[in-house]
Amino acid sequence: MKKNYNKKFKIFNNYFQNNLKIKREEIFEKINHKVKLNNELCKLDIGTSPFLSEVENIFIHKLNGKNITSISDQDCKILKKKFKKLKIIKKDAKKIPSDFKKFDIVHSNATIEHVGNFKNQKIFLKKLYNITKRTLIITTPNRFHPIEFHTKILILHWLPKKIFRSLLKIFGDNFYSNEKNLNLLSEENLKMLCKKCKFKTYEILKIKFLGFTSNLILIVKK
């Protein structure tokens, strides 16, 4: 029984990972269609992952690291070896100073759901907007997709957030049960954040997986 379960889980996980790469490429293409990314634009990537995987850092891969500054609180030296023109700053994304250098494009992939409560998400979003010259791009998983992509749990994350976190604790997941580490967003949550930040021109794009909206792309223009 256990052997069959592990085999089925492995098949599901492989399917999930293969589709994740496809969806990340779809996200990049949607962004590129709207924003027209090019090597001349000065770009900032917030919350870069310390992996060479194209799935984790598709923004850097697709643009070959050119004219991109990367901010991460993790060691991303492995990326520097591959992308010689990539500039890396080791810093907590939440602690970017208000007088930080401004960039034409500020991009943050799947980071805003990891900065804490709604108030912290608003501060994070506003701070990124303030260092943007032209366009701010934020991507995040949609809370109301049937699969919760961090924990691989089905449907339970649709429950009130306090109940979901309590269940995660019962399941032994002390990391994601903490709001500081995971606070999922819906389309309505994103709209509310934009309203609180007083953004005048923004658009929310959607990516679908298994027939449901899996990812949200917020594009804010100045």
Query: Residue 2: what pLDDT?
Result: 38
Summarize pLDDT for 20-51 with one digit per residue, the tens.
Answer: 788 899 999 999 999 999 889 999 999 999 99
Residues 104-127 have a mean pLDDT of: 97
For residue 167, being part of any structural domain is answered with yes
With cut-offs at 50, 70 and 90, classify the pLDDT of residue 124. very high
For residue 32, being part of any structural domain is answered with no
- Provide, for the chain, the percentages of residues in helix, strand and coil under a 3-state DSSP scheme, each rounded to the nearest 5: 40, 25, 35
For residue 105, being part of any structural domain is answered with no
- What is the DSSP-derived secondary structure letter of residue 142? B
For residue 26, being part of any structural domain is answered with no
For residue 127, being part of any structural domain is answered with no
For residue 3, being part of any structural domain is answered with no
For residue 16, being part of any structural domain is answered with no
Per-residue pLDDT at 15 exceeds 90: no
Summarize pLDDT for 149-175 with one digit per residue, the tens.
Answer: 999 999 999 999 999 999 999 999 999
How many domains does one find in the chain?
1
Residue range(s) defining the domain that contains residue 164: 145-184
For residue 61, being part of any structural domain is answered with no
* pTM exceeds 0.85, yes or no: yes
Per-residue pLDDT at 9 exceeds 50: no
Structure tokens at 189: 């949550």
